């Protein structure tokens, strides 16, 4: 305890020194941007302490207070953060070919994801993006539809067990379904999250995201020494041991199987070899094929991309589906139109959804997009400026962190009249065509837009349509009672409570 206290005091002294003797000109430039009053040394950190819910609510309150500017600045100790949430300003960042590096806060994901596609930058990011893009080709995505259907069917069976007329929290059902989908899609591995939510892997996935978020918003935990002495560094290491141990084991098994099949069938292509008679290839299978074909991809490179896909493709889609279910259950007219669409496509059949069926779900797609407008899965998108730039009326120095706040951006009445209203018709082809391309960014935008957004939309359509075909949904919470929490994703503090009745 004494050592921790000494280090904490040392950190405080260093923070004061940086604040007192750091670049006064830099502070002067940043402070020209509108923002809340600051406290010496702490900046605005004292206002951003507390729970994740309090942190996110404070950021939203700051944005609301300075909404006329479409941007503001605040300070976490000696580090300034510039938040932007106006379409033309967002375009300056997300549409840039220079400002493509993620903000320093993403560094806290490195122990888990290292420098995979999400966290890498420069030449490595460009090479990986080019390499991985074919993995999300429409033809390959078609093979994953069966995975979506199989796991959605498991979820429906679990929901049937809850059909006693009581209110249920749908969020954990959706989350476990999404985790099963991504494990099978990314690694070709069944983890049975829907049957065993208490597994160490499932728990580690959730725990590590909470710990990373806590560290991101706590300046006193940024130094590794303090994170281990007064934070949850050791707990994070335990999670990482589970996560990395699992993916290492799966990759090794796949590599060994691939090498054996390759030796036994030297005349077959890499695709045929790694498939081993399977109908579809997992994301990991594709990486092994790439490495075998001469791609510069070591074991660690494969692992960081698999871990990245696991992280990016799990919580985000689970959150999107859960928020959409609340919105559907809260608007019976929208639900009626959705069920009419399902009946038109499927009739009375209970067959699985095909890719052609999913293409026809035009209104469901509008519903998903509108739910993402109100509840964007990723609450903050962070970039660091590669060079000085002019954003709006203000000069922003290089190396400054700029955060896009989708929740506030999506509430701009200029593009979304009556923005608090849930209205899927905003996203018809005709209505969408008239809007600024950067006024709606649930999957980010520009060069670093989400590579898996088509995968996510197909998954969400499959799972949501499976529920709509079988059940009527009634939301039992008001929107205010949901209490969104801005962690690494936007989670409902109190779950998503609904009542299901058989159609």
Residue 292: its pLDDT value, please?
81
What is the full per-residue pLDDT of the chain (503 aa) written as tens digits? 454 555 555 555 555 545 444 578 899 999 999 999 998 888 888 888 777 788 889 999 999 999 999 999 999 888 899 999 999 999 999 999 999 999 998 999 999 999 999 999 999 999 999 989 888 887 788 989 999 999 999 999 999 988 777 899 999 999 999 999 999 999 988 888 898 877 788 789 889 988 998 888 787 888 999 999 999 999 999 999 999 999 999 999 988 888 888 777 776 665 655 555 555 678 898 898 888 877 778 999 999 999 999 888 888 999 999 999 999 999 999 999 999 999 999 998 999 999 999 999 999 999 999 999 999 999 999 999 999 999 999 999 999 999 999 999 999 999 999 999 999 999 999 999 989 999 999 999 999 999 999 999 999 999 999 999 999 999 999 998 998 988 888 989 889 999 999 98
What would the two tokens of residue 440 be? 């709606």
Question: Looking at residue 5, what is its pLDDT?
Answer: 54
- DSSP-derived pairing of the beta strands 79-84 and 401-404: parallel
10 Å Cβ neighbour count for 384?
18
Q: How many angstroms from the chain centroid is the CA of residue 311? A: 8
Which of 492, 478, 502 shows the shortest CA–CA distance to 169? 492
96: alpha, beta or left? (left if phi > 0; alpha if psi -120 to 50):
beta
pLDDT number for residue 279: 58
In Å, what is the CA distance from 468 to each residue of 302, 322, 337, 427, 430? 37, 13, 11, 20, 26
- Please say whether the beta carbons of 317 and 180 come within 8 A: no
What is the C-alpha to C-alpha distance for residues 480 and 457, in angstroms, rounded to an integer?
26
In this predicted structure, what is the pLDDT of residue 20?
45
pLDDT number for residue 210: 85
Domains of the chain: 138-196+308-502 (1.10.630.10)
> In this structure, what are the phi and psi dihedrals at residue 19, rounded to the nearest 5 degrees?
-70, -40
Helix axes 453-470, 362-374, angle to 10 degrees: 110
């Amino acid at each position: 305890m004494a050592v921790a206290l000494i280090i904490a005091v040392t950190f405080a002294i260093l923070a004061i020194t940086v604040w007192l003797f750091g670049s006064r000109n830099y502070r002067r430039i940043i402070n020209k941007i509108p923002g809340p009053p600051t406290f010496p040394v702490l900046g605005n950190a004292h206002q951003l302490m507390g729970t994740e819910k309090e942190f996110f609510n404070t950021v939203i309150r700051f944005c609301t207070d300075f909404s006329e500017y479409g941007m503001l600045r605040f300070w976490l100790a000696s580090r300034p953060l510039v938040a932007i949430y106006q379409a033309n300003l967002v375009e300056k960042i997300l549409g840039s070919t220079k400002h493509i590096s993620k903000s320093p806060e993403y560094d806290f994901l490195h122990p888990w994801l290292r420098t995979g596609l999400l966290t890498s930058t420069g030449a490595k990011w460009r090479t990986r993006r080019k390499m991985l893009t074919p993995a999300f080709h429409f033809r390959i995505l078609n093979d994953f539809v069966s995975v979506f259907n199989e796991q959605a069917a498991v979820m429906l069976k679990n929901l049937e067990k809850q059909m006693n007329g009581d209110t249920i929290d749908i969020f954990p059902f959706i989350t476990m379904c999404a985790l099963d989908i991504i494990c099978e899609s990314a690694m070709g591995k069944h983890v049975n999250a829907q049957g065993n939510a208490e597994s160490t892997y499932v728990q580690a996935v959730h725990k590590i995201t909470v710990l990373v978020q806590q560290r991101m918003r706590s300046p006193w935990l940024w130094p590794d020494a303090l994170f281990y002495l007064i934070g949850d560094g050791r707990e994070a290491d335990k999670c990482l041991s589970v996560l990395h141990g699992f993916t290492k084991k799966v990759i090794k098994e796949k590599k060994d199987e691939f090498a054996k099949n390759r030796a036994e069938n030297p005349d077959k292509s890499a695709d045929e070899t790694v498939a081993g008679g399977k109908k579809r290839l997992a994301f990991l299978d594709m990486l092994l094929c790439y490495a075998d074909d001469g791609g510069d991809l070591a074991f660690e490179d494969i692992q960081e991309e698999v871990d990245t896909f696991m992280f990016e493709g799990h919580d985000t889609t689970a959150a999107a589906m859960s928020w959409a279910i609340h919105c559907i259950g809260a608007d019976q007219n929208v639900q009626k139109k959705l069920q009419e669409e399902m009946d038109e496509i499927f009739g009375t059949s209970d067959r699985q959804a095909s890719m052609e069926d999913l293409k026809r779900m035009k209104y469901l797609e509008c519903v998903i997009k509108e739910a993402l407008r109100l509840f964007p899965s990723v609450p903050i998108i962070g970039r660091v400026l590669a060079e000085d730039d002019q954003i709006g009326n203000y000069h922003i120095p290089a190396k400054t962190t700029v955060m896009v706040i989708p929740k506030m951006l999506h509430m701009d009445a200029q593009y979304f009249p009556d923005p608090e209203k849930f209205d899927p018709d905003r996203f018809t082809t005709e209505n969408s065509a008239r809007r600024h391309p950067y006024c709606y960014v649930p999957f980010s935008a520009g060069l670093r837009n989400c590579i898996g957004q088509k995968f996510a939309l197909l998954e969400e359509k499959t799972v949501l349509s499976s529920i709509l075909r079988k059940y009527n949904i009634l939301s039992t919470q008001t929107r205010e009672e949901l209490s969104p929490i801005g962690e690494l994703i936007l989670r409902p503090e109190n779950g998503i409570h609904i009542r299901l009745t058989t159609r």
